[in-house]
Amino acid sequence: MKMDSRLILALDETDVPKALHVLDEVCGIIDAVKINWPLILSAGPEIITTLSQKADVICDFKIADIPNTDRLIIEQSVKRGASGVIVHAFTGTDSLKECVSAAGGRDVFVVTEMSHPGGQEFTAKHAEEFAAMAAECGASGLIAPATRPERIKKIKESAPGLLILSPGVGAQGGSASNAVLNGADYVIVGRSIYGSSDPKDAAQKLADEIKALRF
Amino acid sequence: MKMDSRLILALDETDVPKALHVLDEVCGIIDAVKINWPLILSAGPEIITTLSQKADVICDFKIADIPNTDRLIIEQSVKRGASGVIVHAFTGTDSLKECVSAAGGRDVFVVTEMSHPGGQEFTAKHAEEFAAMAAECGASGLIAPATRPERIKKIKESAPGLLILSPGVGAQGGSASNAVLNGADYVIVGRSIYGSSDPKDAAQKLADEIKALRF
């Protein structure tokens, strides 16, 4: 995955022509596109391949199953063109190790504390453990919430070598600047870009905001 | 979902003609068929509709996301013909409530303690809390491990009115009889049926084993 604008588009638009239009508009700005199951259920798994021809695709499948099933999901995602996958850690070390092995060198990003209110009930309690497990199992990075930027810093300290990707910017209330200033390497933005009347302009403004912090 | 043989087929075969052949062989015996993401990634989401014409389909998607994404996944699964979905509870009460609401009366089954070794690291610690949350949020039932039948009994006590579905029978080491004797209402069996040279005979033997315990 590139490390240029540090911006990842969460393409949670399930209308396929609209999704493709948004990606065409912003693929020169973003570093990667993140997709989730609703798009697969609406467009079919071929959409992974289609999108991967325009940008690096991270399959945000929040994989959380037994090791054998995790492996099958990741192998098929990679075969279809995914550059990375997002997985849960609370299924245990054996599942997480199998995910990293199945990815065969593609990026595995591990969810720590989730960005929505319910994320504080269980995931927050174990976020630092999940981060340490991710480092131990050979993952590339962590997902940590832009909605709670002070948590990004704590989670980063639990696994210093790993990349931090932060969702929750925009519609969910998080700020790109706060996330980056607290240690996020990439920010993940969805509705503020794909729901904008001018997705390219929205993405460029966010990219400029992030760039201004770093130089 | 019927409550006749108390047997659910985990159709983890990703070769579509083989999967359809197995289901044709056993659909008169099983109460439902459970499918997972690898089949969707291999066959496309239309497979949900195809299978739903032969048996009740439980989408074992281990849904574990923020509320809005959970809703989109479940709405599309139901639209395609799912009778039930399997979801995680560790994403918190708001996510779980949204799952039940999105299912619109279809069954929502909540994972408690997972059946693989890694399931003991985090899910076992919170299994009784997950069971109580499932009852509180209006779920239909729980997933509890046939590989640890003594845990089925404890988990059932945490949510007395809910159905218990137990995976891990056969290839993973659990026994259908032990699961049912400890409180499972349904057992979920995969490889021992779809990997058998005679799936119909394998399913019938398991159905007979379960029936013998109850009468």
pLDDT tens digits for range B23-40 = 999 999 999 999 999 999
Look at residue B205 and tell me whether its pLDDT is greater than 90.
yes
Q: What pLDDT shows up at residue A140?
A: 98
Distances (CA, A) of B136 to A54, A69, B61, B71: 45, 29, 21, 18
Average pLDDT of the segment spanning A207-214: 92
Query: Is A65 marked active-site?
Result: yes
Task: Please report, for the domain that includes residue A116, its CATH number.
Answer: 3.20.20.70
Which residues of B are less than 8 Å from A88 in CB distance? 64, 88
Tell me if A121 is assigned to some domain: yes
Q: What percent of chain A has pLDDT over 90?
A: 95
Q: What percent of chain B has pLDDT over 90?
A: 95
- Tally of structural domains, chain B: 1
Query: Is B65 marked active-site?
Result: yes
Which residues of B are less than 8 Å from A114 in CB distance? 66, 91-92
Q: What pLDDT shows up at residue A152?
A: 96
What is the Cα–Cα distance from A30 to A11, expressed in whole angstroms?
12
pLDDT classification of B155: cutoffs 50, 70, 90: very high
Give the residue from B116, B24, B104 showing the smallest Cα distance to B62: B116
Tell me if B67 is assigned to some domain: yes
Chain A within 8 Å of B201 (Cβ-Cβ)? no
DSSP per-residue codes, B147-215: TSHHHHHHHHHHSTTSEEEEEEESTTSB-HHHHHHTT-SEEEE-HHHHTSSSHHHHHHHHHHHHHHHH-
Q: What pLDDT shows up at residue A204?
A: 98
Average pLDDT of the segment spanning A18-47: 98
Cα A183 to chain centroid, rounded? 15
Tell me if A215 is assigned to some domain: no
State which residues form the domain around B84. Answer: 7-210
Q: What pLDDT shows up at residue B208?
A: 97
Gap from B22 CA to chain A (nearest CA, Å): 19
Query: Is A62 marked active-site?
Result: yes
For residue A8 the two structure tokens come to 């990842």
Look at residue A94 and tell me whether its pLDDT is greater than 70.
yes
Please give the mean pLDDT across all residues of chain A. 96
Chain A within 8 Å of B166 (Cβ-Cβ)? no
Look at residue A215 and tell me whether its pLDDT is greater than 70.
no
Tell me if A2 is assigned to some domain: no
Contact: B118, A65; criterion CB under 8 Å? no
Which residues of B are less than 8 Å from A44 in CB distance? 44-46
Tell me if B11 is assigned to some domain: yes
Tell me if A150 is assigned to some domain: yes
pLDDT classification of A173: cutoffs 50, 70, 90: confident
Contact: B76, A117; criterion CB under 8 Å? no
Instruction: Please check if B155 is assigned to a binding site.
Output: no
Average pLDDT of the segment spanning A5-16: 96
Q: Which residue out of A62, A154, A205, A211 is catalytically annotated?
A: A62
